[in-house]
Amino acid sequence: TLVDFRHDRIFKAQRGENGMGRQAYGKGGEDLVITVPVGTVIMNVSTDEVIGDLTGHGDRLLVAKGGRGGLGNMHFKSSTNRSPRQALPGEEGEERLLKLELKLLADVGLLGFPNAGKSTLIRAVSA
């Protein structure tokens, strides 16, 4: 169920690491993986657009990427500046407001005539 998200509502993907000296570029931030139950519909809050519908086990959907790593000093190297002392910081991860809805998927359906005992059967089986 989605009860786990009642208290923890803010999730952030990792930001990218800063660029460094010694020809080192910053590492890209990891994408954040959140496990949700089967039948979850993910919607964008501002546009009410359906981003994805996770209907099968193991379905994955990328809704926000981790930040890109910063550029290292090698990026600023030129013919006049052979060993630059500058680098760029890593970028923040993407930020989105999402709404999660859980569609209830029934495993069994009962069909029958009125007064055929459908409710009685359910009451006897579930007790």
Give residue-wise pLDDT tens across range 30-77.
767 777 778 888 888 888 888 888 888 888 887 777 777 776 656 666
Rounded CA separation 49/36 (Å): 19
Contact 93, 13 (CB under 8 A): yes
Q: Please provide residue 51's backbone torsions phi and psi, each rounded to the nearest 5 degrees.
A: -85, -40
> Per the CATH hierarchy, to which homologous superfamily does domain 1-127 belong?
GTP1/OBG domain (2.70.210.12)
Q: Is the pTM of this model over 0.75?
A: no
Rounded CA separation 120/15 (Å): 56
Comparing CA positions, the residue from 42, 41, 33 lying closest to residue 12 is 33
Q: Please provide residue 73's backbone torsions phi and psi, each rounded to the nearest 5 degrees.
A: -65, -20
